[in-house]
């Protein structure tokens, strides 16, 4: 979502997630989903259950809120707590994306050209990567190393050269299917340190398709050797999982398999018109998007794109047959523009993409790594602006997204929305954080707002055409 160019930012209005199709779907079918998994003997990770449940309370005033007041008209502002989910909640995902992008532009990326690289993997390895959490880091490290070698190839005689990159791990595609892949923003060049001279940045030429093909080939060989060493592939390159007669239910990941063992995988993504691409044995490398050094606004948009969440409310609608239609970001090879899922299938796919607890989806490499020796010499130093006006007040920690940008500033920066402007034109000051249930009920009752969250439906037996593990 791009910022509007209006002269005066719009005033804040509470979002109402309970009125969205996604919230209603999870609210009405989550209990059935969990009950069916329990009956099937499938153990759902606690992280997944926690995130899905927390999403139902996200944005609900009945769960607590930040209270503000206009100094002019004394009208109240109530900002509901967020769930901070990483997959299930589109709003928290968008906030995390925007905060991360702002952090990268303000505090990480130096004023040098940046190029967007993408690595996608073949079908047979995606399933293994989905189940083997530690492999994602290893495969990403291989890809980053190969691109760094490409950037440093012209400086073989120079002892001290260093590139930099920020990677975003994606677990699914636009239809919420399993598709582990990586979006990596590389400094489009290399830092060179010669003797006592200061660091100097040398820009790199645009990679050609044959060059991208060679990188894809080296990544393919190294990744498959890694899988063989760990006993995940045979010497002939056949996944060991495919050697079994079917996949035993106790070994099947809860969300990625149907009852007959069919893996729900994403189709290979297209490069788009005019994109630079190299492909070898199902490994695809793209590197078409470059941002010039001083175009920070475009860089921030690119950062938001690379860190985008898997789901947005705007892409969901209810079909006439009761299924959920997900708008695809690009048509499939057969021309399909939407994926149609039953409510249980939708929850299954969302839950499949929720990352394990403690898994960091944003990674830093090279000179941009937190512990890099020369990092402080290249990263920008953000300006500190103090507002000492009587209307100013620090935002409570509960409203702060990750990345060091407060809630109100983030809304204004990304969405041109002034959360602390009252419709009367006055300024709103934050007064308190309300968490006590009794106080919550009194305030909401006084303001004639609902004091009860939207009720969650009980588990019920699904119809035959809405089986939990049915392929879509």
Q: How far apart are CA 287 and CA 67, in angstroms?
A: 46
Q: Are residues 168 and 307 in the same domain?
A: yes
Our measurement of the distance from residue 334's CA atom to the centroid of its chain's CA atoms, rounded to an integer in Å, reads 27
Q: Are residues 175 and 191 in the same domain?
A: yes
Q: Are residues 120 and 203 in the same domain?
A: yes
Phi, psi angles (nearest 5°) of residue 179: -160, 70
pLDDT tens per residue across all 472 residues of the chain: 344 444 566 667 778 888 999 999 999 999 999 998 888 887 788 889 999 999 999 988 888 888 888 888 888 888 888 888 889 999 999 889 988 999 999 999 999 999 999 999 988 788 778 777 678 899 999 999 999 999 987 776 666 788 999 999 998 888 888 888 999 999 999 998 876 667 889 899 999 899 999 999 999 999 999 988 888 877 665 554 443 333 333 333 333 333 333 334 444 444 444 457 888 888 999 998 999 999 999 999 999 999 999 889 999 999 999 899 998 888 877 777 888 999 999 998 898 888 888 888 999 999 999 999 889 989 887 654 444 444 444 444 434 444 445 667 777 777 677 778 888 888 888 888 888 989 988 988 888 887 777 777 777 765 555 555 444 4
Q: What is the pLDDT of residue 380?
A: 86
Q: Are residues 371 and 452 in the same domain?
A: no
Q: Are residues 399 and 447 in the same domain?
A: yes
The structural domain count of the chain equals 2
Q: Are residues 145 and 65 in the same domain?
A: no
Q: Are residues 359 and 420 in the same domain?
A: no
pTM above 0.75, yes or no: yes
Q: What is the 3-state secondary structure (H, E, C) of 309-341?
A: CCCCHHHEEECCCCCEEEECCCCCCCCCCEEEE
Report yes or no on 335 lying in a domain. Answer: no
The domain containing residue 28 runs over which residues?
A: 10-87+382-466
Report yes or no on 317 lying in a domain. Answer: no
Q: Are residues 149 and 184 in the same domain?
A: yes
Report yes or no on 185 lying in a domain. Answer: yes
Q: Are residues 112 and 217 in the same domain?
A: yes
Report yes or no on 328 lying in a domain. Answer: no
- Long-range contacts at 268-271 (CB < 8 A, ≥ 24 apart): 268/120, 269/120, 269/173, 269/179, 269/181, 269/330, 270/330
| Helices and strands: H and E segment counts in the chain | 11, 17
Report yes or no on 471 lying in a domain. Answer: no
Q: How far apart are CA 246 and CA 427, in angstroms?
A: 63
Residues 6 or more apart in contact with residue 293 via CB below 8 angstroms: 111, 112, 113
Q: Are residues 77 and 154 in the same domain?
A: no
Beta strand spans in 73-151 (E): 76-80, 114-120
């Amino acid at each position: 979502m791009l910022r509007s160019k209006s002269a005066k930012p719009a005033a804040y209005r509470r979002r109402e997630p309970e009125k969205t199709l996604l919230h209603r779907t999870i609210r009405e079918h989550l209990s059935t989903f969990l009950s069916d998994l329990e009956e099937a003997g499938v153990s759902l990770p606690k992280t997944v259950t926690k995130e899905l449940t927390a999403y139902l309370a996200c944005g609900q005033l009945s769960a607590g809120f930040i209270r503000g007041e206009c100094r002019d008209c004394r009208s109240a502002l109530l900002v509901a707590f967020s769930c901070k989910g990483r997959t299930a909640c589109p709003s928290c995902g968008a906030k995390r994306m925007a905060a991360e992008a702002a952090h990268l532009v303000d505090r990480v990326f130096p004023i040098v050209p940046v190029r967007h690289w993408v690595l996608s993997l073949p079908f047979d390895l995606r399933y293994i990567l989905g189940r083997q959490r530690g492999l994602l880091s290893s495969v990403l490290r291989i890809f980053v190393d190969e691109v760094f070698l490409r950037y440093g190839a012209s400086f073989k005689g120079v002892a001290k050269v260093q590139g930099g990159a920020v990677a975003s791990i994606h677990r699914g595609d636009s239809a919420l299917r399993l598709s582990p892949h990586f979006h990596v923003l590389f400094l489009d060049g290399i830092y060179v340190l010669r003797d006592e001279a200061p660091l100097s940045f040398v820009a790199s030429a645009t990679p050609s398709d044959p060059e991208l093909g060679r990188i894809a080939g080296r990544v393919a060989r190294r990744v498959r050797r890694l899988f063989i060493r760990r006993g995940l592939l045979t010497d002939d390159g056949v996944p060991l999982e495919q050697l079994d007669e079917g996949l035993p239910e106790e070994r099947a990941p809860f969300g990625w398999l149907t009852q007959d063992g069919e893996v729900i995988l994403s189709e290979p993504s297209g490069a788009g018109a005019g994109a630079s691409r190299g492909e070898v044995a199902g490994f695809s490398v793209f590197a078409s998007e470059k941002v010039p050094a001083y175009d920070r606004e475009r860089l921030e948009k690119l950062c938001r794109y690379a860190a985008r969440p898997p789901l947005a409310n705007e892409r969901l609608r209810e079909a006439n047959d009761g299924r959920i239609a997900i708008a695809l970001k690009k048509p499939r090879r057969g021309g399909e523009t939407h994926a149609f899922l039953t409510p249980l299938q939708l929850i299954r796919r969302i839950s499949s993409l929720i990352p394990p607890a403690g898994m960091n989806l944003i990674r830093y490499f090279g000179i941009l790594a937190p512990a890099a020796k020369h990092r402080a010499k290249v990263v920008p130093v953000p300006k500190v602006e103090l507002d000492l006006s009587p209307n100013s007040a620090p935002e409570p920690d509960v409203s702060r997204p990750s990345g060091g940008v407060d809630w109100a500033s983030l809304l204004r920066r990304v969405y041109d929305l002034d959360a602390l402007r009252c419709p009367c034109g006055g300024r709103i000051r934050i007064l308190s954080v309300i968490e006590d249930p009794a106080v919550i009920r009194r305030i909401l009752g006084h303001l004639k707002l609902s004091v009860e969250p939207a009720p969650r439906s009980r588990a019920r037996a699904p119809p035959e055409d809405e089986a939990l593990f049915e392929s879509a």
